[in-house]
Amino acid sequence: MELTFGDLYEGMTRCTLAEVNRLAPTVGTILDLGAGSGRMVIPLASSGHRVVAVEQSGPMLDALRMRLSSLSPGPAERVDVRQASMSELEPVGIVDVVLCVFTVISYCLTEAELGRTFTVAAAALDNAGAFLLDVPDRDVFSSMDIESGDLIRELSMTEGEPGLFEYQEHTVVRTADGPIEYHDSFHLRCWSVEEVTRILREAGFASIEDVSERFPGLGARYFVARTGEVSSTER
C-alpha cells in the first residue's frame, strides 16, 4: 500500500493519528476495527494509547504480530490482538475511541452487517467516547494499473448489482530474492453518506459530525459519531 499510494498513504495515517489524539488528548484506549497489519495500531501504541486490534484475516494478524515483536516491550504490551469479524465482536468494555477507517466499512456488504458493526462500536462507547469512520468516495472503486519501481499492480473493479463491486488484484513485487506474486478476489460495497448516517442513527449514534476538512484530498468523507449529543463548543 505504501508503494501504491505513497504520500497519500502517509497522509491518511498522519491525519487519522492527529484526529485520534484530538478526540483522546490524554492516553486512552482505542478499538481499531479492521486493524489489518497495524497501520494505525503501531503508531497509536507507540504514542502511549492502549489498542484493541480487531482483524478477521489470519495472515494480516500474523503480519501485525511480527511488527509488534519488533517494538520495545512497552508499546507491544499495550496492544490486545483479537481475531474476529468486526460485526460479531464480543464486548471489549468501554473505550475512548473506535476506529473504522481506510475503506473498512466497504467490507460490510449488507445493511444488516454494517448495522451490526455500528452496534458493536456503539456498545464500546459511553457518551464521552467517539467513533471515527470514513465513507470512501465512489471514485475509489475504479480499476487501475500501477507500475512504480519494484511494484506492478493491476486492480480491477467490476460493478454487479448497484453499489456492489468485485475486486480482483494481480500484484508483482520485485525483490533481491526474486519476484513475489500475489492474487486476490473479493467483493466490496460502495456506501453512500446517506446510507451510512441513517444506519449510524439506527445503531444508537445521536451525534454525527462531518470532519472531512481535517482529511483533505484523501478520497473519502470522514465522520465522528457519538452516542450522546455534542454541543458546538465541544467540537
Question: pLDDT digits over 152-171, tens only?
Answer: 999 999 999 999 999 999 99
What range defines the domain where residue 74 resides? 2-138+191-226
Q: What CATH number is attached to the domain comprising 70?
A: 3.40.50.150
Residue 221 is assigned to a structural domain of this protein: yes
Is 97 inside any structural domain?
Answer: yes
Domain presence at residue 231? no
Task: Please give the distance of CA 148 from its chain centroid, rounded to a whole number.
Answer: 25
Look up residue 10 and give its amino acid.
E
User: pTM here?
Assistant: 0.92
- Please state the domain count of the chain: 2
70 and 177 inside one domain: no
Task: Name the residue type at position 177.
Answer: D
pLDDT at residue 5 in the model: 67
User: Do 81 and 129 belong together in one domain?
Assistant: yes
Do 126 and 42 belong to one domain?
yes
Neighbours of 111 (CB within 10 A): 14
Same domain, 152 and 133: no
Is residue 153 domain-resident?
yes
Which of the residues in the chain have pLDDT under 50? 232-235
User: Quick one: 106 and 179 in the same domain?
Assistant: no
How far from 77 is each of 81, 86, 87, 183, CA to CA, in Å?
10, 22, 25, 34
In a domain, 232, yes or no: no
Instruction: Give the pLDDT score at 149.
Output: 83
Shared domain check, 78 and 156: no
Q: Indicate if 107 and 208 belong to the same structural domain.
A: yes
Helices (H), ranges, the chain: 2-5, 7-23, 41-46, 58-69, 73-77, 111-123, 193-202
Residue 18 lies in a domain: yes
Q: Residue 196: inside a domain, yes or no?
A: yes
pLDDT digits (tens, 9 = 90+) for 179-211: 999 999 999 999 999 999 999 999 999 999 999
pLDDT at 233: 43
CA distances to 10, 146, 199, 206, 217 from 31, in Å: 21, 33, 20, 20, 25
Question: Does one domain contain both 100 and 127?
Answer: yes
* Claim to verify: residue 14 and residue 55 sit in the same structural domain: yes
Residue 51: enclosing H or E segment and its boundaries?
A: strand 50-55
Q: Does residue 233 lie in a domain region?
A: no
The distance of Cα 211 from the centroid of its chain, to the nearest Å, equals: 16
What is the model's pLDDT at position 230? 60
pLDDT at 24: 92
Note whether 209 and 164 are same-domain residues: no
Residue 68 CA to residue 233 CA, distance in Å, equals 38
Which grid coordinates are listed for 129? 467516547
Task: Name the pairing type of β-strands 144-148 and 151-159.
Answer: antiparallel
Beta carbons of 43 and 71 less than 8 angstroms apart? no
Domain check: are 116 and 221 in the same one? yes
Instruction: Mark whether 171 and 61 lie in a shared domain.
Output: no
Task: Please tell me the predicted confidence (pLDDT) of residue 228.
Answer: 85
Residue type, 179: P
Query: In whole angstroms, what is the distance from residue 175 CA to residue 177 CA?
Result: 5
